[in-house]
Amino acid sequence: MINKKSQSAIEFLFLIGIILFFFTVFFLIIQKNMSDRIRERKTVVVRETALDVQNEISLAHKSIDGYSRTFKVPEKLNGMEYEINITENMVYVRIKDTREAIALPVFNTTGNLVKGNNEIKKENGKILLNQ
């Protein structure tokens, strides 16, 4: 009689262990999926911001002299701090403290890009940014 009770207890503990193992695996898979989606959203936001700046510079390049426009660069990307600049004919956007970054080619531009309002214009065939 004692032998059957101890065997039932061992089988019960074994069953509980298997159930805990499967729940753990299930939650790890969900966590991985969610972190992939968050990283994907970050990548999309970074890319969209870089593309917006690239498009503004491209539009100024295609326009005639005298073109002037003000466009806005967000202060934060989905609540995250980031860096944005134009270096060596590339617009570079990087979220601080992560690996999310992108660099896209742009036409030769004089001036600096800032978060907030930016004024872009074309004078004498040159694209001027915040000058």
Domain boundaries, the chain: 2-129
Separation of alpha carbons 70 and 85, rounded Å: 17
Written as six digits, the tokens of 108 are 């030769």
Mean pLDDT of 5-27: 90
pLDDT tens-place string over residues 75-98: 998 888 999 999 999 999 999 887
Would you tell me how many other CB atoms lie within 10 Å of the CB of residue 89?
A: 12
pLDDT tens-place string over residues 60-78: 999 999 999 999 999 998 8
What is the helix (H) or strand (E) element at residue 110, kind and residue range? strand 109-111
| Closest by CA position to 97, among listed 73, 74, 72, 79 | 79
Mean pLDDT of 88-109: 90
User: Does residue 2 register a pLDDT over 70?
Assistant: no
Separation of alpha carbons 52 and 94, rounded Å: 15
Beta bridge partner(s), residue 87: 90
